[in-house]
Amino acid sequence: MAEPNLVLGWFAAFVGAIGFGSFAVPIKGDAATKVDIDPLVMQSYKSLMCFLTSWLVVLLGQEVTFTWWGVVSGLFWVPGGAFNIFAIRNAGLAISQGIVASSIVMVSFIWGNIIFKEPAKSQIMAYSAVWLIMAGLYGVSHFS
SS3 113: helix
- DSSP letter (8 states) at residue 116: S
Chain centroid offset of residue 80 CA: 9
**Predicted confidence (pLDDT) at residue 131 exceeds the cutoff of 60:** yes
Q: How far is CA 83 from CA 44, 53, 130, in A?
A: 13, 23, 23
User: How large is the average pLDDT for residues 25-44?
Assistant: 86
- Give yes or no for a contact between 126 and 109, defined as CB atoms under 8 angstroms apart: yes
Which residue type sits at 7? V
Which amino acid would we find at residue 43?
A: Q
Specify the pTM.
Answer: 0.75
Share of residues in the chain with pLDDT > 90 (%):
24
AA identity, residue 116? F
Query: pLDDT (tens digit, 9 = 90+) per residue, 62-84?
Result: 888 899 999 999 999 999 999 99
